[in-house]
Structure 1
């Protein structure tokens, strides 16, 4: 007799979320995002007199705070109203949700729900975690006290060994000009590349990324946000017979500095987004 089915169904969270700005947002933003993902309809259904499509949920902000409440002893704790508003705004600006105010609540749409909730869109992983205990200590483990003197004599005259080993094993990406993109530059470039989502000319784009001066966290976030918006509007551009910019040209032209970006949503409405001002405001809220 097989195992009983798990009630309540399931939802998918992509591991690539660790490369998203939400990964570094305050805990209440991450929890409210998880709530939206978990509570979104798996199929079209009626809720409190409203027809809610797959990937949508209908709630009041009060409902969300109540559903996410917790206890410390006998004391009931909740997020405050400001937490909820900040989180929803951050998720909208990160293009993870869209919201529409309706009588009696808010209709929340999880963007790209069908794509991320389809198991067939994920690569398989064949990695096997080996949690067995090894007899020999790994290279990063401290040397036992009784062996320190022997190890010190052994490594005398080889003071650069650790540095050389670390350098030789450092992850890097070779650009078109045969330059090494590594460290935080590589990490932030990968973040941009995923957001831009137009996988042509990566090596050329890496060269431009390497040449961006003063690549602060704030600037990375601005570029990332603008790149996601560019990815959203690209299908419409292609459908009109126009040629979208490749990452190299987009970065060279500093398109993330465009003040206004127009996005066309599924319902055909135009939304004007003040990219720079919104990004700065979001960063302030994240620091609050």
Structure 2
């Protein structure tokens, strides 16, 4: 199976490049090879490689910056996935795409299911939802995996930001009224590979029958403040930290350009029922990540 992989320098893409080697021939394409803001560039590389599967973790992920760059965010998150899906359909290929908990407004009291109506509250969420809808409208065999609060040891994410700030500041303020599930980028990649193992070599047929929209996040829940607490409770560089105090604040006390959902837990039951997959508790994954960061 020939797999075209985008976004290889990103958190999830970097993990996928290593993990998907176990299920097929991975052909990574970088920003130098594909410009996701240019449909012709997308079509050219796909027609040149002729993959059996396109895995697309590439995205515009700067949530606050997207508020001032809506056209760029839409080009990458909303329009490009549809172009990829169209080319996949022409080739008889399939597509795996990644989306976000930020397609929801945060008004739920229980974890969101795939059948709950999206209502994104920021440009990033709106563009990611547009990408989901673009893929689904093409009618190509596809798998869309919504995940949340992605972190790891590469790229820009909450874990690395906290570790950096702890070296620079004596106090860090973190919001405690947004609830979600921190999800390790490697766990996302490994779950993707496990699904493809089940597909064997007929990925298009497999996703035509079992594909669609699924939620894929770590088990459990916490706030950003709780996430930060856990990071510093298990920090191999404890003695090198400048940080003395972690302070919980409300979202009102930390205004941002983009509004974020107060509650964005995702229900993973459909994924479990279909693929017999369940990611570990978020604390267990975090402990593994920090152990690797010694």
TM-score bracket, shorter-length normalisation = under 0.3
- Structure 1 length normalisation: TM-score? 0.27
Larger RCO (CA within 8 A; separation ≥ 6): 2
